[in-house]
Amino acid sequence: MDLKVCLICGNKFDGLSYDKFENICQDCIDIITDTVKNEEEYKEEITFGKNKPLKPHILKKELDKYVIGQDVVKKKISVEICNHYKRINYSSKEVELPKNNILLLGPSGSGKTYILEVLSKLLNVPLVIGDATSLTESGYVGKDVDTLLSQLIDKAEGDISLAERGIIYIDEIDKIAISKGDGVSKKVGEDGVQASLLKIIEGMEYTFEKTGQTINTKNILFVCGGAFAGITDIIEKRICKKSTIGFSVKNEEEKEKIDKKALLHKVTTDDLVEYGLITEFVGRLHLIATLDELSEKDLERILVEPKNSIIKQYKELFKIDGIDISFEEDVLKYIAEMAKKKGTGARGLKSVISDKLDNLIYEISEKEEDIDKYVVTKEYFIS
């Protein structure tokens, strides 16, 4: 019997053709088939197809590759995101599924914006990030809220149907809360901005006056975020008042037992209204999720663990120059410690590390001798 040589592994086989594969042995055909099957199943799992809705645990698993910590928030958001696109892709004639917009509370640098950026890439939908403080009520100087919709269309490269499935994230929403101390809003039109946002968030057919272009906002996911500085005082007051009802004095012992860091997790819609958000606006934000402040250990993990971590990025840059760079363990702890002191969360890591490593790239390029390995020490960062 004439034997043929497999084009893949080089082993000889009986020369029969299998399926659409020719001159490939059965073992290699099995490997190819399994690989293609696994890739197709994976693609189907992480995309919103008409035949199979995405599962929250799969989306959470993808988020875990990029976002360190914040497990509770990632689970909540994964469920809401999946439900949101189920609502779009699987419309029911029997039950009308409402749109659930999201409010994220947490300190600066805790990952609010980053989570939305990662989700946008994973889901392959356009994302617009806006700053609430730059928005104004129509008729005042500044950006009107319809600017967000215009930017979303631009991100979708003019594809209206894609834009209508996109995400709009409005940061620093707490900064447009109405100050109630003297009955006057903190700046002109803040309550008007909330009212203007309310119109597009709840779902409407919006027509741009200049172009006549129309976009429907009923399937656009709106996410608002903010640090809400001072809201813990409102929460604490409510909790203490509830625990001391019937007494003429405050229960100081009960107040001392309250975990200040955990207070934000106990926020209610009433607290948000007292803070200065209008009732109708809060009512359109169905999911309230709280992010924790990142610890030094979290920051240390963020340096090395995510798929696109800062350390991995710099290692790749040095690798292109033929240099294998490594970091002593105490260096990572030092960087995390310095970033923590800055008080800007994960974004502080970049500012701590970039100057030193950019300078190192320059210093190595100046050396005449070739360097193929370099170990970064804590002393280098301190110097």
The CATH number linked to 367 is 1.10.8.60
**Are the C-beta atoms of 167 and 221 separated by less than 8 Å?**
yes
pLDDT (tens digit per residue) in 177-234: 876 544 434 444 456 788 888 888 888 898 888 888 899 999 999 999 999 988 999 9
pTM of the model as a whole: 0.76
Residue 92 or residue 380, greater confidence = 380
**What CATH number is attached to the domain comprising 105?**
3.40.50.300
Residues 80 and 196 in one domain: yes
Same domain for 370 and 222: no
Are 70 and 206 within one domain?
Answer: yes
Q: Quick check: is 16 in a domain?
A: yes
pLDDT of residue 140: 40
* Pair 64, 201 in one domain: yes
In sequence order, the 6+-apart residues with CB closer than 8 A to the CB of 292 are 69, 70, 106, 110, 261
71, 158: one domain: yes
CB 105 within 8 A of CB 223: no
What's the pLDDT at 249?
A: 43
Q: How many CB atoms sit inside 10 A of residue 282's CB?
A: 21
Same domain, 326 and 372: yes
Q: Higher model confidence: residue 201 or residue 256?
A: 201
**What's the total number of domains in the chain?**
3
Checking if the pLDDT of 292 tops 70, the result is yes
> Quick check: is 343 in a domain?
yes
Under DSSP, the state recorded for 202 is: S
Whether 37 has a pLDDT exceeding 60, the answer reads no
**Average pLDDT along the chain:** 80
The residues that bridge with 129 in the sheet, in sequence order, are 169
Q: Is residue 257 part of a domain?
A: no
Q: Report pLDDT digits (tens) over 323-370.
A: 899 988 899 999 999 888 888 888 888 888 888 888 888 888 887 677
On whether both 175 and 301 belong to a single domain, the answer is: no
The residue-averaged pLDDT of 249-274 equals 72
Q: Residue 338 sits in which domain range?
A: 296-382
* Structure confidence at residue 321 (pLDDT): 85
Same structural domain for residues 163 and 41?
Answer: no
Domain shared by 346 and 222, yes or no: no
pLDDT at residue number 81 = 92
pLDDT at 64: 92
358 falls within a domain: yes
- SS3 state at 130: strand
- Residues 121, 33, single domain; the answer is no
Answer whether residue 51 is part of any domain.
no
Model pLDDT, residue 368: 67
Please give the share of the chain, as a percent, with pLDDT higher than 90. Answer: 32
In 167-278, which ranges are continuous DSSP H helix?
190-201, 231-243, 252-257, 269-275
Residues 80 and 158 in one domain: yes
Say if residue 112 is in the same domain as residue 173.
Answer: yes
Distance CA 34, CA 128 (A): 39
What pLDDT was estimated at residue 74?
93
The residues with which 30 forms a beta bridge, in sequence order, are none
Q: Are 6 and 24 in contact (CB under 8 A)?
A: yes
**Contacting residues for 83 by C-beta, under 8 A, at least 6 apart:** 97, 100
Q: Does residue 160 belong to any structural domain of this protein?
A: yes
